[in-house]
Amino acid sequence: MALFKRFESAIDNGIGRRKLGYMLIALVIVFFLWFPNDASQSNYAKTVFISGFFYAIMSSSWALLAGIAGQFSFGHMAFMGIGAYAAGLIARDGVSFALLGISVTPESISAFGSIVVGTVFAGLVGLIIGWLLLRLRAAYLALFTIAFSELFRIMMLTEYDYTGGSNGLSLRPLLEIADVNAARQVEYYLMFALLIVCLLALYWVANSPIGLFLRAMREDEDAASALGVNVVRYKILVFVFTSMIVGFAGAVFYSDVGSERIIPEQLEILQMSLIIAYAVIGGMESLIGAAAGAFISRYLLEAMRQVVITLPFGLTTADGSDAFVWDTGFWRFALFGVVMVFTLRYMRNGLLYPIITWFSGRDIAMKETVSIRESDDEFAARKERDDE
Amino acid sequence: MKRITIVISIAALLALTAMLPLGIVQADGHCEFADDSIKIGGLVPLSAPGAVAGGIAMSWAINRAADDINADCGIEIDGANYAIEVVIGDSEGSPERGQAVVERFILEDEVDAVTGVYHSAVGLATMGMLDENSVPTVFSEPWNDNVSANGIMEYDGRPPRNADGVDHVFRVSPASSMVGGVVVDWLNDLGVDNVVIIAENTDYGQPAAADEKARFEAAGATVTQINVELGTEDFVPILSRIQAAADTPDVVRVLVTGETSFNLTQQMAELGIAPTEDTICVTNQVAFQSEQYWLNVPDGNYCAFNRVGIIPSLFSDLAVELNASYFEEFEDIVPSYAMATYDAVWIIAKGMEQAGSKSDGAAIVAAIEATDLDLSQGRYYFEYGNHNPDLPEGTPAFMWHQWPDPVVTMMQYFEQGQSSLDAAVIFPQVYQTHGTGYIVPGTSP
């Protein structure tokens, strides 16, 4: 502890925590850029990372919606699905608006074009849902979004003639690279770039005046409104913005970048609760915390599929081996649940919050601004002194 | 004399006891295995949203098959005996996870072959990868017609076979199209005129209902279709509509899966709609799991159901042994997909042995195409493949690398609490166990 205090003081008197934090972020980025070039890493490891990047986008955007704007929505996976399904369907069947004189045929639209259409469609639905949610708060908002999410999932499941039902919908591949290794390399960088761009966009919103309005709405919607915050506008804005981000991420991910097809089961409430859990573990009010929480959780859940346990004291198994493989199967999620319970009970701001706070220097500000209350003992001692 | 007998008996018993471990050691040690092993990847759902119970059964079957093969000294290739090593991967029932697991199988675990797959979506998403990486694969449960060479063609626009003339995916489970006709053929044989179909609103229930409706109508029957949502608990309003109809239906056909089908069948029986003397009850195939069926549908005696997979009366010694072993582990009757998965491992193993290689994908595929094996579900062979590439006119493309003989039958309970092992097989006639095509409620065959 003393060593840490000396380190802390050296940093505070030296380059400062914030700069050190930026350096750490730069190092992490350099690591992710270098990772696929490490010849010892297989495509499987890159696949796990690609999935981690995708879920990091999902969790960080949900953190903006729920953690910063206070809109506790369960519809995030549905918006992701809307983006992916819309992109897949337009690339396969095209679309025609006779009244507007617009006709898009499958031949006339590229994979990227279909992704853009999927993103816009997700934004449009986000606009409608955001508008419908205007008068709903807390539990009612959550229930509404659960209902919407289930409605969409059931639609995708039952309209199997168009959506493929539980067999899923195959999206048009975004990349046409014959060499599997080169393709995986490009997919990795594409998903990583998408994560960086999404995080920058989310931070831009969170640190802009809009972010302040969103936080004000989260704390007290009526008070924010009374102070001149256009609650209607910003509520809808945050829904549209996050819907478009996840719609875009979903359309890209399922265009054979992370997976070649999307299935309705991917939109189940269980999957949504995983996104929430990642954000809670990383830190709901921190975009980078939620992203890191999602990436680390995904990585650990994958790494824990099979755990090799080496026996101590020269012990061996029945077949003479000094180690055995524990196929964690169902237990890894149970373990994940334990971490979640621990986080909610003891570290409500997320497991990464103390680290993020330390690097941002926010803990110093807190020490300076938060009044320190006397404990009962201190009060009794002071009273005794005063009486004397 | 008596004392001598006792002493000799005790001595013999002690000698036997002393030899027992020796015998076990010899049984285990009588095979000399090569340092290297043959790795078979089992792609099964072991966590939600996948069908976990199915995944556990399939995982059990793969391990059981590997144990049996290893007990038989593994696979002999060029004079060396290779043990089978099983690597199980959890697909979670998701194409994304399935793809990641297959990638891990290929790149990290370096499996020599793959089997399993419960959900068609996972099969559709992974078969292209398996084919591209020349991994001999035998799927054991996905039903979608496109989970086959036909699907590979549709998957990415390539011709059904690779440039080397080989595609690596086989299937021993039936294609959906192979299952559909049996129920209708049976009911048409019985001469039903007025049919009510209750179908779940999913891609299982709706196409099946459309297919059966068309077949019934082609035979001149009147069909009323009622759609229900999966997860519905109370079917009384729907069933009341059937009761209120002017004509009593000849048959109520349930095209609803899982627990929901149990609820529906029980409520139907409670209301006296079916099974009755006038109305035949045809419930979902999950009724074969008799322990669960009678627990949930205590009034469901005389209901009929279709069964995919070998019927109990035709169980071979191997199937009986497999069933006993499964029952010991799970206290239930072995499901057909566990038997198919068990057989798939044997097909791969024997293919490798025939090919004389554990890594030459093309040679192993050629050997699997030439399979002629009697296993737990019957005789396995593949009619169409590179060895017989010309599918006759009218033969669907999914028959390429498809086992053509999965048994699909109609069965019927006729005693309360009866095990499905004892239930009557009523259709097709060739498999009938009680000499009748239908047991009227209240009677015995």
Question: Do B303 and B424 reside in the same domain of the chain?
Answer: yes
Least confident window among A175-184, B21-30, B75-84, B361-370? B21-30
pLDDT in the model for residue B167: 83
Asked whether residue B55 falls in the same domain as residue B95, the answer is yes
Measured between beta carbons, the chain A residues lying within 8 angstroms of B204 are 165-166
CB-defined contacts A:B, below 8 A = 90
Minimal-distance CA residue of chain A relative to B144: A167
DSSP state of A64: I
Whether B121 sits inside 8 A of A263 (CB atoms) is yes
User: How many domains is chain B built from?
Assistant: 2
DSSP state, A373? P
Please state the rounded mean pLDDT for residues A201-208: 91
Q: What is the pLDDT of residue A195?
A: 95
Tell me if B202 and A271 make a contact (CB, 8 A cut-off): no
User: Is B254 in the same domain as B394?
Assistant: no
Is the per-residue pLDDT at A130 higher than 50?
yes
Across the interface, whether the CB atoms of A154 and B229 are under 8 A apart is answered yes
End-to-end CA distance of chain B: 57
Residue B410 pairs in a beta bridge with: B306, B427
Say yes or no: B40 and B186 in one domain. no
Domain range for B44: 36-175+320-399
- Coil/strand/helix, residue A81: helix
**Average pLDDT rounded to a whole number, residues A353-365:** 73
Co-location of B167 and B198 in the same domain: no
Q: Cβ of B132 and A180 within 8 Å?
A: yes
Q: How far is B104 from chain A (nearest CA, A)?
A: 5
Residues from chain B that touch A188, judged by Cβ atoms under 8 A, are none
In a domain? residue B22: no
Q: Judge if pTM exceeds 0.80.
A: no
Judge whether residue A325 has pLDDT over 80. Answer: no
Q: Determine the distance in angstroms separating the CA of A314 from the nearest CA of chain B, rounded to an integer.
A: 22
- In SS3 terms, chain B reads as CHHHHHHHHHHHHHHHHHHHHHHHHHHHHCCCEEEEEEEEEEEECCCCCCCHHHHHHHHHHHHHHHHHHHHCCCEEECCEEEEEEEEEEECCCCHHHHHHHHHHHHHHHCCCEEEECCCHHHHHHHHHHHHHCCCCEEECCCCCCCCCHHHHHHHHCCCCCCCCCCCCEEECCCCHHHHCHHHHHHHHHHCCCEEEEEEECCCCHHHHHHHHHHHHHHCCCEEEEEEECCCCCCCHHHHHHHHHCCCCCCEEEEECCHHHHHHHHHHHHHCCCCCCCCCEEEECHHHHCHHHHHHHCCCCCCCEEEEECCCHHHCCHHHHHHHHHHHHHHCCCCCHHHHHHHHHHHHHHHHHHHHCCCCCHHHHHHHHHCCCEEECCEEECCCEECCECCCCCCCCHHHECECCCCCEEEEECCCCCCCCCCCEEEECHHHCCCCCCCCCCCCCC
**When comparing pLDDT for A364 and B420, which is higher?**
B420
Whether B131 and B58 share a structural domain: yes
What letter does residue A304 receive in the DSSP assignment?
A: T
B345 near B84, Cβ under 8 Å?
yes
Q: What local confidence, expressed as pLDDT, does residue B196 receive? A: 95
B273 & B132 share domain: no
Please name which of A54, A7, A16 lies closest in space to residue A299, comparing C-alpha atoms: A54
Whether residues B56 and B111 fall in one domain? yes
Cβ distance A302 to B229 less than 8 Å, yes or no, reads: no
* A360 vs A213, residue with greater confidence: A213
Q: Closest partner residue to B202 among A158, A258, A263, by Cβ?
A: A158
**Which of A307-321, A366-380, B416-430 tops mean pLDDT?**
B416-430
Task: Assess if residue B376 is contained within a domain.
Answer: yes
Confirm whether B25 is domain-assigned. no
Residue B18 has pLDDT above 80, yes or no: no
Q: Which residues of A touch B (CB under 8 A)?
A: 42-44, 47-48, 51, 154, 157-158, 160, 164-168, 170, 180, 258-263, 265-266, 268, 270-271, 302, 305, 327, 329-330, 332-333
Give the tens place of pLDDT for each residue, B330-347: 888 888 899 999 999 999
> B210 pairs with which residues across the strands?
none
Mean pLDDT for the stretch of residues B113-127: 89
Is residue B271 in some structural domain? yes
**How close, in Å, is residue A33 to chain B by CA atoms?**
21
Q: Is the pLDDT of residue B17 over 50?
A: no
Contact between A299 and A48 (Cβ < 8 Å): yes
Tokens 């709609």: give the residue: B273
pLDDT in tens, B172-202: 998 877 877 889 999 999 999 999 999 887 6
Residues B210 and B354 placed together within one structural domain of the fold: no
Tell me if B415 sits within 8 A of B305, measured CB to CB: no
For an interface test with B, give the residue of A265, A272, A274, A307 to mutate (most B CBs within 10 A). A265
Quote the CA–CA distance of B88 and A329 in Å, as a whole number. 10
In chain A, residues with a C-beta closer than 8 Å to the C-beta of B141 are: none
Residues of B with CB under 8 A from a CB of A: 46-49, 52, 88-90, 93-96, 99-100, 103-104, 106-108, 119-121, 124-125, 128, 132, 144, 155, 201-204, 206-207, 229
pLDDT reported for residue A194 = 95
> Mutate which of A40, A43, A44, A333 to test chain B, going by most B C-beta atoms within 10 A?
A44
Tokens of B20: 């027992």
Instruction: Write the CATH number for B78.
Output: 3.40.50.2300
Residues of B in contact with A265 (CB under 8 A): 49, 93-94
Tokens of B278: 């006038």
Residues of B in contact with A158 (CB under 8 A): 201-203, 206
Do the domain assignments include residue B157? yes
Query: B64 lies in a domain?
Result: yes
Of B90, B96, B155, the CB nearest to A305: B90
Once rounded to an integer, what is the mean pLDDT over residues A8-29?
Answer: 80
Q: Which helix (H) or strand (E) is A150 found in, with range?
A: helix A138-158
B436 occurs within a structural domain: no
Looking at the fold, whether B328 and B367 belong to one and the same domain comes out as yes
Mutate to test the interface with A, among B103, B110, B200 (most CBs of A within 10 A): B103
B158 pLDDT more than 60: no
Alpha-carbon distance values, B171 to A346, B139, B339, B343, B344 (Å)? 51, 5, 13, 11, 9
Taking CB atoms and an 8 Å cutoff, what residues of chain B touch A261?
A: 95, 121, 124-125
Please give, rounded to a whole number of angstroms, the shortest distance from the CA of A165 to a CA of chain B.
Answer: 5
* Highest-confidence segment of A2-11, A314-323, A327-336, B135-144: B135-144
A158–chain B nearest CA distance, Å: 5
B16: in domain: no
Radius of gyration of chain B measured on its C-alpha atoms: 24
ipTM: 0.70
* B413 and B395 in a common domain: no
Flag if B49 and A327 touch (Cβ within 8 Å): no
Contact A259 B96 (CB under 8 A): yes
Predicted confidence at residue B46, as pLDDT, reads 86
Within this chain, do residues B284 and B425 fall inside the same structural domain, yes or no? yes
Whether A188 contacts A49, CB under 8 Å: yes
Please provide the average confidence, as pLDDT, over all residues in chain A.
Answer: 84
Residue A211 Cα, gap to closest chain B Cα (Å): 34
